[in-house]
Copies of this chain bind each other. A is one copy, B any other.
Amino acid sequence: MEAESTSVAPSGLQATDASTIAERYHTVRSFTETLCDPLETEDYVVQTKENVSPTKWHLAHTSWFFETFLLKPHLDGYEPLDEQYAYLFNSYYIQAGERHCRDRRGYISRPTVAEVYAFRTYVDEHMDRLLADAERRRELAPLVEIGVHHEQQHQELMVTDIKHVFSVNPLRPAYRDLAPSSRIELPELAWTAFDEGIYEVGYEGDGFHFDNEGPRHKTYLQPFALANRLVTNGEFIAFIEDDGYRRPELWLSEGWATVQERDWTEPFYWEKHDGQWYLYTLGGMREVNPSEPACHITYFEADAFARWAGARLPEEKEWEVAARDRPMQGNFVDEGRYHPAPLHEGADPDQLYQMYGDVWEWTRSAYSPYPGYEPLPGAIGEYNGKFMCGQFVLRGGSCATSRSHIRPTYRNFFYPDEAWQFMGFRLARDV
């Protein structure tokens, strides 16, 4: 997802258990604040590039969402805490009114962090009032569910944004005290093959999902194989050492132009000192562990690596077909690692590992509408569709994603030069 590319168009939400929606609301809202536990007041204010938002803004924007789409239209007599918040904390919902410039969120010292927490409390109290009645609860559950997923998306952004903020600070503060992973001996890459034929892809069922995951439709896949695990730091170092960043024939034309313009010589967050690679993690600076999945890799780099390796990136449909029968397990934010983890030793070469969690996996599929795709009308239906240009799809969630937020059909998307999310990749090949 683009920083605010939240998809919020549910197609079928009847499965949401209305009796538990209030509980789910509080769980998620509370987790947002838990993520802020390690922060000082100053940390909430800073914006270090256009698509990094201040934590304060995330806290307020997610509350604005409930105010705008639940409280204002549905709670009789609701009075906003501050009329100007609607302007300050709208992200890009054009139909929801004017909004403050995205690249100037870091210019705003007021409202203070304390005032923003007061705004959260204000919204929560009014949400409680709104959801007190069982009838309203049933009726509004789908909208609340959207808000909850929206907030989970921003939780992930809070983690990745604060990582960026801390990383550009010469003091390199750590977000939390985190144990480094161990080095293990990984077995050779193995491949799992899939047959040619007609497959159905896209969301099907009664649960919550975003509009861009549907409609479910038939597609024809040629025979293909997927690597059984993610590409690792160790493998990426081999690419670097084989002059990967200096060989134009490995790169997309735009990728090569970017390499030259920005002087890329290694992945984002990496540094070399005295012949040793280091990377910034939410636990501080660390030696690069070769057995960890490569992370903060752009599409351009993943694509160049795959060409170098004589392979390619998967299509998103291939990934979905391969992933959907795997158990929804992995290194999610719920684990509290805040960093991708090496595959455990002794992995079975015939299985696909690390499909969920750890890092979002780049696919070579441009982010486009499925056949028959229709966004919902109105501001709540803004917008997955409006981002369908120039971005690539990523799948599977990361170590900053909530387990309860992800699905096999979930389509995340970013521009090919972006790296500040927990992004990595898995190889594919034609059979």
Contact = CB atoms under 8 A, between A and B. Distances in A.
Interface of A: 40-46, 48, 56, 84, 87-88, 92, 94-95, 100, 104, 106-113, 165-166, 168-171, 173, 198, 217-222, 224, 248-249, 251-256, 299, 315, 364-366, 368-369, 371-372, 383, 386-390, 416, 430
A255 B171 CA distance: 30
Contacts of A108: 46, 169-171
Contact of A106 (B106, B366, B386, B390): B106
Contacts of A387: 252-254
A344 B172 CA distance: 55
Given A170-B84, A222-B372, A45 B48 contact: no
B107 A253 contact: no
Contacts of A254: 387, 389-390
Nearest to A82: B171
A43 B109 contact: yes
Contacts of A416: 389-390
A299 B252 CA distance: 22
A48 B41 CA distance: 19
A165 B217 contact: no
Contacts of A40: 109-110, 112
A7 to B, nearest CB: 13
Nearest to A173: B110
B371 A222 contact: yes
6 contacts: A41-B41, A42-B110, A45-B46, A110-B171, A253-B383, A299-B389
A104 B170 CA distance: 11
Q: How many copies does the complex hold?
A: 4
A46 B106 contact: yes
Nearest to A378: B249
A107 B42 CA distance: 10
A311 to B, nearest CB: 12
Contact of A218 (B42, B220, B390): B220
Given A222-B217, A389-B255, A248 B94 contact: yes
B113 A42 contact: yes
A107 B46 contact: yes
Contacts of A371: 221-222, 224, 315, 430
Contacts of A249: 94-95
B372 A430 contact: yes
**Most central of A253, A369, A386 by chain B CB within 10 Å:** A253
A343 B387 CA distance: 34
**3 closest cross-chain pairs (CB), A and B:** A366-B366, A42-B109, A222-B371
A109 B46 contact: yes
A204 to B, nearest CB: 15
A44 B41 CA distance: 11
A22 to B, nearest CB: 32
A371 B315 CA distance: 9
A109, A113, A315 interface centre (most CB from chain B within 10 Å):
A109
